[in-house]
């Protein structure tokens, strides 16, 4: 990552909708993550007995738990786009604490992430059109419902990223003009 060591003009506060959208991004990931954690804890969570067997291995449990935690951590990073730690690295971080974050070092990965998330989850609305032989009918319904919020993750991240970019572009223009 690239950082400025000299202070720059501060960006304006994020709009209320961007703050709301950043927090919502963390919440849309939660239902599917909680479902995966239930599977890790040994609850079949909608799978048939045969379908659940593949999730009883240690490797599958580690993967499901890691995926749940990783998704939530990545979603939580969206909050950095509306909080001061998205502008200045917190002081407690060794070597780089207190330095300003270059806006494009945030915008580029956030925009790429938003595009990837939008692409990855774009087929979720059609969950029920795909066969899920390893799930019970009720499980298929419930899992489909729990995964539906993920379709919003990419667009929410994109909207908050655009807000971050615009706020910092205006601040940079003000600094150049002054």
Rg (CA), the chain: 20
pLDDT of 7 = 43
Neighbouring residues of 70: CB distance < 8 A, sequence distance ≥ 6:
none
Q: Could you read off the pLDDT of 14-39 as tens digits, one per residue?
A: 999 999 999 999 999 999 999 999 99
**Tens of each residue's pLDDT in the chain, 178 residues:** 444 433 444 688 999 999 999 999 999 999 999 999 999 999 888 999 998 988 889 999 999 999 999 999 999 999 999 999 888 888 888 998 889 989 999 999 999 999 999 999 999 999 989 888 999 999 999 999 999 999 999 999 999 999 999 999 876 666 666 5
- Residue 17 and residue 132 in contact, taking contact as beta carbons nearer than 8 Å: no
pLDDT of 143 = 93
H/E element, 120 = helix 103-121
Q: Could you read off the pLDDT of 108-126 as tens digits, one per residue?
A: 999 999 999 999 999 999 9
pLDDT of 174 = 66
Rounded CA-CA distance 124/141 in Å is 12
150's torsion region: left (phi>0), alpha (psi -120 to 50) or beta? alpha
pLDDT of 5 = 39
H/E element, 100 = strand 100-101
């Amino acid at each position: 990552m690239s950082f400025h060591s000299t202070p720059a003009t501060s960006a304006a506060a994020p709009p209320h909708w961007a703050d709301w959208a950043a927090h919502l991004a963390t919440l849309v990931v939660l239902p599917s993550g909680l479902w995966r954690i239930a599977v890790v804890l040994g609850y079949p969570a909608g799978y048939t007995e045969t379908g659940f067997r593949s999730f009883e291995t240690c490797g599958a449990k580690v993967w499901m738990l890691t995926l749940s935690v990783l998704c939530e951590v990545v979603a939580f990073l969206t909050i950095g786009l509306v909080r001061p730690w998205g502008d200045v690295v917190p002081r407690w971080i060794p070597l780089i604490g207190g330095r300003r974050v270059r806006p494009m070092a945030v915008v580029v990965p956030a925009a790429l992430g938003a595009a990837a998330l939008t692409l990855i989850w774009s087929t979720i609305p059609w969950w029920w059109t795909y066969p899920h032989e390893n799930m019970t009918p009720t499980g298929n319904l419930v899992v489909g419902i729990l995964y539906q919020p993920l379709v919003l993750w990419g667009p929410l991240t994109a909207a908050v990223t655009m807000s971050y970019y615009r706020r910092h572009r205006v601040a940079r223009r003000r600094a150049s003009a002054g």
